[in-house]
Structure 1
Amino acid sequence: MEKISLTALARQELASARSAGSGRSAHTVYGGHEHALRQTLIALIEGHGLDEHESPGEATLHVIEGRVRLSNAEASWEGSPGDHLVIPRTRHRLDALADSAVLLTVVKPVGPHV
C-alpha cells in the first residue's frame, strides 16, 4: 500500500509552477505507460492553462485547490475545490482562473493490442 497527501503535493507543485516560465507543473501520482489507470496532479498559475488538445479518452478532473475552467467548442464548466468534472471526449482546454491544483484521472487501454 502507498499513501500520498494530495494537499501537500499540490502545495509543492504550485511552488514549482510559480517558478516555471510555463506557469504549470505536473507530477504522476499513479500509473504510467504500463498501467491503464493514470493519475496526474497538475498545478496551474492563474492566467495559465493547457491549450486546446484532444481528449485522452475516459477521464475526469478533481479540483483540489483554486478555480479552473474546462471548455470545449460547445460549453464550459467551472470547478472549485472538491468539484469533480468529467472531461468531454472532444477537443478541450483547461484554464486557471486562480492558482490551482487538479487531479487528472485517465483510463487508457494497455497491452500488445494497443
Structure 2
Amino acid sequence: MTDSAIALGALAAQLLARAGEASSGRATQAIPAAPSGGVLTTVALALIAGQQLSEHENPGEAFLHVIRGRVRLTAGDEAWELGEGDLVAIPQRRHGVVALADSVALLTIAKATS
C-alpha cells in the first residue's frame, strides 16, 4: 500500500528502462491495496516489443489496462489487441500476453479466496 499517489508515467518509464536491461525483456512492480497483502493487487508490467508472458492460469478475477504501447491478450481461440487506455477483463481460463510494441500495463487482480 502506498500513502501517496503513484505517477504512472514515471513508473512506466522506470519499468521500461529496467525491462530493456533485463534478459527477459520484462519488469514488474507490485502495488498492493492493503499493507498485509489482502486480495486486491495491481502489478505494473513492462514488456519490450516481442516479449511475452507465456500462457498461464488466471489467479482470480483480473483486469488488464494498457497505459503505454500495444499488447495482444490471448485465451484459447480468442485474442484482443489493446492499446493505450484500453481495459479488458481477463478471461477465467489460461491466457497469455505478448507485447506488440514496448508496453506497460496494469494488471489488477482480486485473488480467489477459497
Q: Structure 1: state its 5+ residue gaps.
A: none
Residue in structure 1 matching 2:102, options 99, 102, 105:
99
Q: Name the % identity.
A: 47
Task: State the secondary structure of the residue aligned to 2:55.
Answer: strand
Say whether 1:79 aligns with 2:86: no
How many Å apart are 1:74 and its aligned residue? 2.2
Residue in structure 1 matching 2:69, options 51, 56, 66:
66
- TM-score, with length taken from structure 1: 0.91
Task: State the secondary structure of the residue aligned to 2:101.
Answer: coil
- TM-score, with length taken from structure 2: 0.91
What root-mean-square deviation, in Å, do the aligned CA atoms of Structure 1 and Structure 2 show? 1.5
How many Å apart are 1:7 and its aligned residue? 1.1
Find the counterpart in structure 2 of residue 27 from structure 1. Answer: 29
Task: State the secondary structure of the residue aligned to 1:13.
Answer: helix
Find the counterpart in structure 2 of residue 52 from structure 1. Answer: 55
In 2, Cα distance between the equivalents of 1:109 and 1:47? 30
AA matched with 1:14: L
AA matched with 2:55: E
In the TM superposition, what whole-angstrom CA distance separates every residue of 1:66-99 from its partner, at most 9, and x where no partner exists?
Answer: 0000001120001000000110111010000000
How many Å apart are 1:58 and its aligned residue? 0.2
How many Å apart are 1:6 and its aligned residue? 1.0
Q: Structure 2: state its 5+ residue gaps.
A: none
Distance 1:88 1:109, change over 3 A: closer
